[in-house]
Structure 1
Amino acid sequence: MHHTTDTRPSALLAMGPGIAERLLTPAHRDRLTGLVRTDPDLVAHRLADPSPQVAAALAEAEVLLTCWGAPPLTEAVLAAAPRLRAVVHAAGSVKHHITDACWERGIQVTSVAAANARPVAEYTLAAILFAGKNVLGSARRYRELRAAHDWREELDGWGNHGRTVGIVGASRTGRRVIELLRPFDFEVLLYDPYLEPAAATRLGVEPVSLDELCARSGIVSVHAPELPATRRLIGAAQLAAMPDGSTLINTARGSLIDEPALVTELVRGRLHAVLDVTDPELPPESSPLFDLPNVLLTPHIAGSLGNELHRMADQALDELQRFASGRPFADPIHGDALSRSA
């Protein structure tokens, strides 16, 4: 055993069952093996009552590589991990497993939220462009009519030339959406109570109040974090302020919208919605959201899925490489910022 000459940090993978197999390609596993001293095939699903093999790896681990379904890093778990100095989270939010005990111990934390923001922003861009042209409504009407029809007259007033888009939240995803909208001919409004006006100017958007944003936008897209303060941020008053025929897009969290108030507007046919998230996350079977013609409902797929997980793995291994070479994380997370981020 020549472990004494191996200066690579010791690592442990901790995430939900079946996640590591989708996250890491053989090339990622090879890279991981080169960066850290770890068994890339050992994945911990539970840290509170670990198997002997996991317990031994946890006792040695200087860094944890986590992803969706990572077990909470409680005081008891940290006590069993005396050498732990860092957590690299190969997904977005760390709120589900990073506890106050981690910050108290001074553990460094990073996540690949930036990599996960990209597919969400891409989904949003597609939803905005389709919403502006009334693509879904036209497709449905075409399927029903199956006959020659004056579409130009029916779609008069639709289109993406100079349409106003309201972005709620200058989060990573919100900023990415703003970036993606730049080549198009939209007027972009932004509501974010934490953003300085100068920062909005740099983003090339007009900062407005939430009520003004809802009243002026033909399309409203929600990108705020889920916090006690943002619960039902878009309430009955904001929905009522939205112009007839406008579209609400939510790829953030279902709790940010007063769903009963939204359903009322949707059943009336006054608004359109593209919902990738709901509250509760799986709507009851009887929910009108499944059948309403003016709703596109998708099963929380805007974030990374399929081959997009490999982008998260790339970024996580980049951060692991920085840690292994003694450099600071490129995208560190600070405990005090978590109170107003996702």
Structure 2
Amino acid sequence: MTASIPKVLLVCNNRTRDQYFTPSDLERLSAFATWEWLRLEGGNAFGPNEDLAAIRQLTRKIGDVEGVVVCHGSPTVSADMMDRAPNLKVVGELEGDRFAYRIDVEAAWQRGIRTVDTTNGSSYPVAEWALAMILVSLRNAGGYFRRIIAGDTSRPPESDFGYIHGELTGKRVGLIGCGHIGRLLIKFLRPFEVDIQVYDPYLSSEMPDALGFVKTSLEKILSESDVI
């Protein structure tokens, strides 16, 4: 007896499909499932598509699928839609940890439907960019770049603090919040031998020792840090 091939519904706008679904990704998906793209325009990065026509289209399409992938343009996959999809096993969100905007997570859990997102996926580039901005800002590299573009290639004066004292090594860095991005930034900062202090009221008691930082108050972060 041949096993049935799962059916997956991709629900997003045209820009999201072009940005996130590469030909190689769709080829990998086609290797184990049949898929269909439901193009819907509307909503925004932080909210679902609330257009009634779009909701009706998704409700009609979801009935015979095993998996749904949503992103910008998709309405919320609601409890009513899940009840109309007896074969639905998983609903995924492409845009970071915002899946609660487009998936009724509680309804999915109650029905044994798995929910997944890409929370960690965007943490790496954001943490790398944060480190880059720290280095650029300490050295005032943006100002030097603008001077060079304007034709001034002279050496900065000795009084320029960023030019003389702009190294990151040995500085005190204060983080406000220590989620996925903050923890990655701590990892990236270690080679610079910085003193890291963190304010986050939701941290577990074990995390400071595990990651090598000091948990402190917001007031101390603001008053004692070289970099925030």
Task: Using the TM superposition, give the Cα deviation of residue 147 of structure 1 relative to its aligned residue in structure 2, in angstroms.
Answer: 6.8
**1:183 partner SS:** helix
RMSD: 2.5
More off after superposition, 114-123 vs 104-113: 104-113
Instruction: Tell me if 1:61 matches 2:61.
Output: no
CA pair 19-204 structure 1, distance change in 2 beyond 3 A: same
Ranked by relative contact order (alpha carbons within 8 Å, sequence separation 6 or more), the top structure is 1
CA pair 193-160 structure 1, distance change in 2 beyond 3 A: same
Instruction: Tell me if 1:166 matches 2:174.
Output: yes
Structure-2 residue corresponding to 1:17 = 14
Rounded to whole Å, the distance in 1 between the matches of 2:202 and 2:26 is 40
Task: Using the TM superposition, give the Cα deviation of residue 38 of structure 1 relative to its aligned residue in structure 2, in angstroms.
Answer: 2.2
Structure-2 residue corresponding to 1:208 = 216
Task: Using the TM superposition, give the Cα deviation of residue 141 of structure 1 relative to its aligned residue in structure 2, in angstroms.
Answer: 5.7
Read off the aligned partner of 2:56 and give its amino acid letter: D
Rounded to whole Å, the distance in 1 between the matches of 2:57 and 2:156 is 67
Instruction: Tell me if 1:96 matches 2:92.
Output: no
- Which aligned pairs between 1:100-111 and structure 2 lie closer than 5 A? 100-111=106-117
Identify the match of residue 78 of structure 2 among 60, 74, 77: 74
Read off the aligned partner of 2:8 and give its amino acid letter: A
CA pair 147-50 structure 1, distance change in 2 beyond 3 A: closer
Q: Note the residue ranges of structure 2 that are not aligned, 5 or more in a row.
A: 41-48
Contact 2:71 2:102 in 1 (8 A): no
Instruction: Tell me if 1:43 matches 2:50.
Output: no
What is the percentage of aligned positions where both structures have the same residue? 26
Contact 1:167 1:174 in 2 (8 A): yes
CA pair 69-177 structure 1, distance change in 2 beyond 3 A: farther
Instruction: Tell me if 1:194 matches 2:198.
Output: no
Rounded to whole Å, the distance in 2 between the matches of 1:150 and 1:64 is 56
**1:165 partner SS:** strand
Contact 2:147 2:153 in 1 (8 A): no
Contact 1:190 1:207 in 2 (8 A): yes
Rounded to whole Å, the distance in 1 between the matches of 2:131 and 2:177 is 15
**1:64 partner SS:** strand
* Number of equivalences: 212
TM-score (norm 1): 0.56
